[in-house]
């Protein structure tokens, strides 16, 4: 089959893809912007906890990030197919820059309140739901067709690198220059993307016009996912484990109150899973195309839930870093295998719509889970909430194992 032969045609030479003028500039500018976003995320979490001393209000940050994702995600994908994508990105990047600067001004003038942070977080999330589909859809306009696979791989690497570097820099930035300048740095990080978009030479900046009913198109994707018990099993297992075990939302609690390592330690705790994710991705690439993916997904996810419990029980900063690293690696292995399996199970003409639904499940569930974990932590404490999440997650893995085992039919 043609699909099966594409990765074998030639080795991945990422430097040739980055040598493409427009893609290379776009990739570098997006990397800088993504690092700025991560600095802002660390700053928001630490500032909310400093103001409120409330794990519940800390967890609400995830809820305000999840709501726009759930509400606008599918609309963002449709808009990316109808508008000039470069102009759409210039609008979204400009709005994101203004929102980051606004947080800096409110903080510097001493007027910032928690509801300001929640509101700006919501609108920034809404902007992002229109930004991500447009930038992904524009990549085929920036590189030759034969380089698309490598270009998309570099896109994933960008996210992982920013998640690794950003929290470390965020912790250092907070310790050195404080809250307001951390937001200003994030605001400035968008300038490079906007300038890059202004001077890019794109073969075709507009997606294909879609005449069919958006409602009918989305409903078809829903029907397919709902009717496929294997895909539903994967999504339910992944979403529930991350919903009940959203440990990253409680990182400021562990860093300040339980481990006593301050903003710098917070950055390390948030960066450790990203290092693990890079290693986990490398492990999956080394495995190639392993058999028994269903059993492997169940095993990896079960170990992940055990890791959550170990992290919650730890009072050693070193051991917490090791466990956080392991959680990132396990999550990357599980995510890669799940995404591969879903792509194999979905017909080509449904992949876009199914992926948009997967995006809501996989990213929306954990963000809402941050609010759930924050609420539980108000009663049980942060460690108690994470331990309970690990136990519930283990039970859900057991319940979904039979559905996931149907992967044998695909592999056959």
Give the pLDDT confidence score for residue 349 in this predicted structure: 52
| Average pLDDT over every residue of 370-398 | 90
Q: Which two three-digit tokens encode residue 28?
A: 């570098």
Give percent above pLDDT 70 in the chain.
77
pTM over 0.75: no
Q: Are 410 and 297 in contact (CB under 8 A)?
A: no
**Are residue 24 and residue 160 in the same domain, yes or no?**
yes
Mean pLDDT of 42-55: 90
Residue-wise pLDDT for 13-30, tens only, equals 566 767 677 888 888 888
Range of the domain at 39: 11-207
- Indicate whether 50 and 109 sit together in one domain: yes
Least confident residue range of 216-220, 239-243, 287-291, 375-379: 287-291
Copy the structure tokens of residue 17: 């893809």
pLDDT of residue 215: 67
**Predicted confidence band of residue 346 (pLDDT cuts 50, 70, 90):** low
What CATH number does the domain containing 343 carry?
1.20.1250.20
Residue-wise pLDDT for 259-297, tens only, equals: 999 888 888 898 888 888 878 776 765 665 566 677 788
The percent of the chain in helix, strand and coil, each rounded to the nearest 5, is 85, 0, 15
Cα(271)–Cα(250) distance, integer angstroms: 14
Q: Is residue 45 part of a domain?
A: yes
Residue 249 · residue 146 · CB < 8 Å:
no
Tell me which residue has tokens 């693990």. 276
| The two three-digit tokens of residue 225, written as one number | 């996912």
Let me know: does 97 contact 194? Beta carbons within 8 Å. Answer: yes
Q: Examine the domain organization and report whether 375 and 226 are in the same domain.
A: yes
Centre a 10 Å sphere on the Cβ of residue 221 and count the other Cβ atoms it contains. 20
Q: Are residues 259 and 379 in the same domain?
A: yes
Query: Alpha-carbon distance 57 to 369, whole Å?
Result: 13
- The chain-wide mean pLDDT, for the chain, equals 80
Please, which residues bridge with residue 335 across strands? Answer: none
pLDDT score, position 78: 65
Within-domain flag for 6: no
**Among 146, 193, 144, 172, residue whose Cα is nearest residue 39:** 172
Whether residue 175 has pLDDT greater than 80: yes
The residue ranking higher by pLDDT, 60 or 337, is 60
Measured CA to CA, the distance from residue 245 to residue 305 in angstroms comes to: 8
Per-residue confidence band for 188, with pLDDT thresholds at 50, 70 and 90: very high
In this predicted structure, the answer to whether residue 211 has a pLDDT above a threshold of 90 is no
Count of H-run helices and E-run strands, the chain = 18, 0
Query: Hunting for tokens 């005449």 — which residue is that?
Result: 211
Q: Is 347 left (phi over 0), alpha (psi -120 to 50) or beta?
A: beta
Dist. CA 46–CA 117, nearest whole Å = 12
Q: What is the Rg, in whole angstroms, of the alpha carbon atoms belonging to the chain?
A: 21
pLDDT digits (tens, 9 = 90+) for 58-95: 888 888 888 888 788 777 666 766 677 788 889 999 99
In a domain, 152, yes or no: yes
Residue the block writes with tokens 């995510």: 335
Residues 377 and 264 placed together within one structural domain of the fold: yes
Where does a domain end: 207, 224, 240? 207
Residue 360 has pLDDT above 70, yes or no: yes
Task: State the pLDDT at residue 223.
Answer: 79
Residues 31, 157 within the same domain: yes
Is the residue at 1 inside a domain?
no
CA distances, 410 to each of 230, 291, 385, 404 (Å): 10, 11, 37, 11
Share of the chain above pLDDT 90, in %: 27
Tokens of 109: 């003038």
Over residues 301-327, mean pLDDT: 94
Cβ partners under 8 Å of residue 412, min gap 6: none
Q: Are 18 and 147 in contact (CB under 8 A)?
A: no
How far, in Å, CA of 164 to CA of 170, rounded?
Answer: 11
Residue 84: strand pairing partners: 206
Chain centroid to CA 136: how far?
14
Say whether pLDDT at 166 is over 50. yes
Q: Which residues contact 291 (CB under 8 A, 6 or more apart)?
A: 411
Q: Which of 331, 368, 335 is nearest to 70 (CA)?
A: 368
Quick one: pLDDT at residue 149?
Answer: 55
Q: How high is the pLDDT of residue 217?
A: 65
207, 241, 266 — which closes off a domain?
Answer: 207
Whether 125 and 41 have beta carbons less than 8 Å apart is answered as no
pLDDT confidence of residue 145 = 66
328 and 196 within one domain: no
In a domain, 4, yes or no: no
More confident of the two residues 344 and 53: 53
pLDDT value of position 5: 39
Half-sphere exposure (Cβ direction) of 373: Cα atoms closer than 13 Å: 37
Q: With respect to residue 2, please indicate whether it lies within any of the assigned structural domains.
A: no
Indicate whether 179 and 311 sit together in one domain: no
Inside any domain, residue 80 = yes
Q: Using CA atoms, how far apart are residues 163 and 152, in angstroms rounded to an integer? A: 17
The mean pLDDT of 222-231, rounded to a whole number, is: 77
Q: How confident is the model at residue 221 (pLDDT cuts 50, 70, 90)?
A: low
Banded pLDDT at 363 (limits 50, 70, 90): confident
Is 105 inside a domain boundary?
A: yes
Q: Are residues 298 and 400 in the same domain?
A: yes
- Between CA 73 and CA 143 the distance in angstroms is 26
| Per-residue pLDDT reduced to its tens digit, 119-159 | 999 999 999 888 877 777 677 777 776 666 566 656 767 77
First to last CA, the chain: 15
Quick count: other Cβ atoms within 10 Å of Cβ 309? 20
Buried b (16+ CB within 10 A) or exposed e, 155-187: eeebebbbbbbbbbbbbbbbeeeebbbbbbbbb
Report how many domains make up the chain.
Answer: 2
Last residue of a domain, one of 183, 207, 231: 207
Helices (H), 190-316: 191-199, 214-227, 229-244, 251-253, 262-287, 293-313
């Amino acid at each position: 089959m043609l699909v099966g032969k594409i990765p074998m045609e030639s080795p991945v030479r990422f430097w040739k893809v980055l040598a493409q003028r427009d893609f290379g500039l776009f990739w570098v500018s997006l990397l800088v912007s993504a690092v700025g976003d991560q600095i802002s995320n660390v700053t928001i979490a630490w500032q909310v906890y400093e103001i409120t001393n409330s794990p519940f209000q800390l967890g609400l940050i995830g809820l305000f990030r999840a709501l726009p994702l759930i509400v606008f995600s599918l609309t963002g994908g449709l808009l990316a197919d109808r508008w000039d994508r470069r102009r759409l990105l210039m609008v979204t990047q400009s709005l994101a820059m203004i929102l980051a600067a606004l947080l800096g001004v409110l903080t510097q003038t001493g007027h910032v309140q928690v509801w300001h942070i929640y509101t700006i977080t919501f609108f920034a999330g809404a902007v992002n739901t229109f930004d991500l589909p447009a930038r992904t859809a524009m990549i085929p306009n920036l590189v030759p067709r034969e380089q698309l696979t490598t270009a998309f791989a570099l896109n994933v690497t960008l996210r992982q690198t920013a998640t690794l570097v950003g929290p470390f820099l965020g912790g250092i930035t907070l310790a050195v220059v404080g809250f307001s300048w951390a937001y200003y740095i994030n605001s400035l990080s968008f300038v490079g993307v906007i300038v890059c978009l202004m001077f890019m030479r794109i073969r075709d900046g507009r997606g294909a016009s879609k005449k069919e009913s958006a409602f009918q198109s989305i409903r078809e994707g829903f029907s397919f996912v709902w009717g496929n018990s294997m895909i539903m099993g994967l999504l339910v297992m992944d979403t529930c484990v991350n919903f009940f075990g959203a440990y990253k939302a409680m990182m400021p609690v562990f860093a300040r109150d339980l481990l006593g390592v301050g903003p710098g330690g917070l950055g390390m705790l948030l960066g450790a899973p990203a290092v693990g994710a890079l290693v986990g991705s490398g492990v999956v690439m080394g495995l190639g195309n392993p058999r028994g993916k269903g059993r492997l997904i169940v095993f990896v996810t079960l170990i992940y839930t055990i890791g959550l419990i170990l992290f919650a029980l730890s009072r050693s900063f070193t051991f917490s870093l090791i466990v956080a690293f392991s959680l990132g690696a396990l999550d990357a292995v599980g995510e890669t295998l799940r995404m591969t399996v879903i792509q194999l199970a979905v017909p080509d003409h449904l992949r876009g719509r199914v992926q948009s639904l997967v995006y809501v499940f996989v990213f929306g569930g954990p963000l809402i889970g941050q609010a759930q974990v924050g609420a539980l932590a108000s009663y049980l404490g942060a460690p108690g909430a994470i331990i309970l999440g690990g136990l519930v997650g283990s039970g859900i893995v057991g319940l979904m194992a039979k559905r996931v085992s149907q992967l044998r039919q695909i592999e056959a």
